[in-house]
Amino acid sequence: MIGRLNHVAIAVPDLEAGAAVYRAMLGAEVSAPQAQPKHGVTVVFVMLPNTKIELLEPLGEDSPIAAFLARNPAGGMHHVCYEVDDILAARDHLVAQGARVLGDGEPKIGAHDKPVLFLHPKDFCGTLVELEQV
């Protein structure tokens, strides 16, 4: 069921400053910012040969990233994203195994214009997991 690692997401208090670190210090290619109002974030992607790093900053006061940054003011790793072939089948399998899907349980369109779901971190070794259909 689980596919390749799509990205590791890092919450940052200042998206441009975070992107500058990856550009200047590591020589990375960084995408333009993309506002994701349905998810309450603005993101950039740091392109790597084998995956991506997603930098997230809050988009509005109700952003779940704002709450994360209140607890972690310097930022930090927020979630990992794995690819799946069929997000509904993956969801149903995981729920049958006892995993909790966050939100209403229905996929939403993510930053790559593909369906995504988030899984409760208490069910995955303390890590928030995002599934993205490829």
Q: Domain ranges in the chain?
A: 5-133
Identify which of 129, 118, 134 has the alpha carbon closest to the alpha carbon of residue 38. 118
Write down the pLDDT at residue 128: 97
**How does pLDDT run across 74-83, given as a tens digit for each residue?**
999 999 999 9
Length of the chain: 134
Beta strand residue intervals within 4-124, DSSP E: 5-11, 29-30, 34-36, 41-47, 52-58, 76-84, 108-109, 115-119
> Which one is the CATH code of 5-133: 3.40.50.300, 3.40.50.620, 3.90.1150.10, 3.10.180.10?
3.10.180.10
Instruction: Give the CA dihedral 33, 21, 17, 50, nearest 10 degrees.
Output: 30
**How does pLDDT run across 83-133, given as a tens digit for each residue?**
999 999 999 999 999 999 999 999 999 989 999 999 999 999 999 999 999
Mean pLDDT score, 54-59: 97
Angle at 109 between CA 106 and CA 110, to 5 degrees: 120
Q: Work out the pLDDT band at 61, boundaries 50, 70, 90.
A: confident
Write down the pLDDT at residue 82: 98
Whose tokens are 């997000």? That residue is 87
What does the mean pLDDT of the chain come to? 96
Segment (H or E) for 63: none
Tell how far CA 88 is from the center of its chain.
18
- Contact between 79 and 7 under an 8 Å Cβ cutoff? The reply is no
Catalytic residues: 130
Structure tokens at 74: 């310097």
